[in-house]
Amino acid sequence: MLAPGLSSERRDQQRRQRDTIKASLGGTRELCARLGLLEGAKPQPGGLVICCPFHGDRNPSCSVRDLDGRVVVHCFSCGAKGDAFSLVAAT
């Protein structure tokens, strides 16, 4: 999240840095493989269903999808939502 009191140049710089980091994380399958989350994963159209890293989960209930070039995470069990950064932080 960008700080509200920053100049537009600084905000643009932070957006570019954030986009560069997200691009280096890769897509859904690459990111989940790097984080060791592919065990028990089930493919679905547009992404994967994995065991949720946000809570103790034995059955895959967390959808991880590529949506317009960004990773979107949603757990149908605990209701957690996020992006690639929150997925990395949870593991």
What pLDDT was estimated at residue 83?
A: 85
Q: What is the DSSP string of 5-20?
A: TS-HHHHHHHHHHHHH
pLDDT one-digit tens code per residue, 29-87 = 788 888 788 888 888 888 899 998 888 888 899 999 988 777 889 999 999 998 888 88
pLDDT one-digit tens code per residue, 13-25 = 888 887 777 677 6
Cα–Cα distance, 16 to 56 (Å, whole number): 34
